[in-house]
Structure 1
Amino acid sequence: MQQGKSSSIKFIQTQTVYEQPFFTPNIDILSISENLYLEKIKKQPTSRDQSPRKWQESHKKPLTQQPKIIPQQEAQKEVKQLQVNYDEKVIQPKEIISKPTTEHKQIIGRAKALLLQQRTLIMKKYLKIVSLAIIAAIRIKKSLNYSLWKKYQMQLKNITFFLKLELLQTERINAWCKAVCAKSLTSVNQQLHNFIDLPNDKEKVDQSLMKSINSCQFLLENLAYFSQQKYFCEELKYYLLSQVFLDHKVYFSKFVSNRTLYLHTKNRQIKVEELTMILVESILIDQILMNIFDSNQKCLFLLKLIASLLQYLFIKKFNRLKQKKSNIQKLSAHQIIQTQNRIKLNLITNPSNNNDLLIIGLFSDEEMQSLLNYKKTVSKILDQNFERFCCNLYMTILA
């Protein structure tokens, strides 16, 4: 029995020694052990960005979570709660907009005032730019007009030299005019039937219309051709230029003087159409018609018909110009004096107020319609050639 007891006691002692030590661990010893463990961890290689503790936490194995089993009743409750919350979010009451206070009104008023100030400044800038552009354009116009005035004044000095040589001047001008009129006058070698006064004889009327319209066509073609700068007479150029100036003008017809003011010291501005009108009037009446009436052509009806056609085309072209208040009192006009063998032009001063014609005594526009309606294609060609003649004359003398 004693032996059995001793053996059991030993077993208990060994068991108690293993499970319950005879001494309790001191706190200092535990802290030392922890420090030693941390030093070992520090010596191990770690990344630059991670501290040792973070590195340990990152390398820990994630714990696997087992799926949570939810019964059907609880799942249906959660779905209903989610639907209710979603509906509450959608159907939210609109935010009530607060009414503008006095401070807000003051800020809005200041903003409007600033916008108005900005707009006025922009408008002032635009107005300044526009006004400067208008002033610049007026100055450029004035400089151009003064330059044209000086240019024409310089050319007028040459006129005095040519005007002294009257014989040489008249000979050259007459030669140029004869070259222009030669083909139209020589195309008719016999007397033509007067289809205006006697329109009943159809055969004679047709022959007369055909020859007379050909003669007029030749004249206008030559005018358009010889008015180019290559073939123009230099003496005639300076004479026509002198007629543009008020001080050198020979006569003043009512039709032209009511539509232009001529060039002089007070008026240095004339439009292109006004200048061409003065030039065309002076060359047709003073030179072309004078040479036609002084020619050896015996058919006086043809001469009168050509003069009537030139006057008709002239008035048709320049009648569009607006009339002006002219201060010229000594107006004049030309009148035909017809004898048995010759036609002359006579200058009349102070014509009647109702008469705007350049030459009195020619065929009227209604009487000329029989010639113009004979061939419409030919009448268009006549208008085109007269237009070319006017343009070439301006470009040759004043351009």
Structure 2
Amino acid sequence: MPSTKDFSLVYDALNSAGTFSEGDTLTGKVIFTLGKDTKVKNLFVKVKGDANVRWTEGSGDDQTTYSAHRRYFKLKQYLIQQDTTLPKGVHRFNFRFKIPMSDMPSSFKGIHGKIVYMLEAKLSRSWHMDKTVQTELNFVSRSYPSTGQQMEPQVGSVGKELGLISKGMVQMTATIDRGACFSGETVTVVVKVNNSSSKKVTPKFILNQKVVYYAKGSTNSSKKTVCAMMADAIAPKTEKTLTCPMKIPLNQAQTINNCDILTVNYYLKVYLDISFAFDPEVNFLLVILPPGATVPLQPFGAVGGAVGPNPPGAFGGPSNSDFPPPFVPAVPYPVPPGPGADGYPAAPGPAQPSHMRGGYSNQMPQPASSYGPLAPAVPSQSVHNPFPSAPPVFQQGEAPPSYVSIFPTSNEPHTLSNT
């Protein structure tokens, strides 16, 4: 029978979604059972945030691997720092961390890279394999660009003269009620179509996610469809206006542009499906933010108040943060209106806010405009936070000291066990 069993790590949730953000306090317990009196070399808990990308191009002798890594922070706390004999029985050790108040991206996993925040506990004994248990934290960044102008309607237009098979002109104007929204919300798309041609046309809508990976001066990208819908066909020689709601999936990953090796952007494509012809289209850069984000997400020109499901000051639920909400300056600066190489509106590069005012079609350029900048980045931190050098030995049946609870009693802990 092993002398150490039921080695587990429990952390206290701050909200129903189980998310953490910059400045939050992370608390929990390391729990294990000893089958006999055991000499422990050390016991520690650490929490860290890392971004990694990796992909391979070519084959054989021409194969090249591209990779990059960024560490945002690493905190380590010793619960037992020197050889200590623990008695037989159940042991519980409390830990407590303050997540640094730095500009860090949200958790994300893609094809060629990921952003992961990990909590880990390790128990070491002489002449024994280490006991390790870890679990991922769902980190939601508070660092987001000023979105005042993005809360205004976004408009794009396109026109197309059909060719030999079908005669006539097709014109479309598409409007979305705003260019920034929360996951789980509904974006309203209004399409006005003047079909002067001899063919029917069908309005279609696709929300695409585009992820770009950066390493060693090279880039790789992936694209996937988040959701799609279509409206009724519009007959020839007909003018029609359609209103189509598109619901953003509830737990959709947010826009990420504060990581220099990985960016995540969303594009809402509105187009007319025309058989035997190139489809005219308008693309909007859509900023997706996490539920609970508040100011400065009010409509442009509004004063005070919050936009979104939670009251002012809320962000992903209650937070044990000693820091005020992030300040986002509202000084605008221009954004080029042109499309990227793939035909989508040009998205900002890494560590830049993702905003665009007005849609862009691949046939009719739109005027330039402006948006607010992202708050300046704070350098990432690496902190070593040791426990007192002489940790107490807890006797069987004796309750170890614990931190004062600062969480609602209704919150359930998250547990990951490794026996």
Q: TM-score, normalised by structure 2?
A: 0.20
Considering fraction of residues, name the structure with more strand: 2
Specify the structure having the higher radius of gyration (Cα).
1
Considering fraction of residues, name the structure with more helix: 1
Higher relative contact order (CA 8 A, sep 6+): 2
Q: TM-score, normalised by structure 1?
A: 0.21
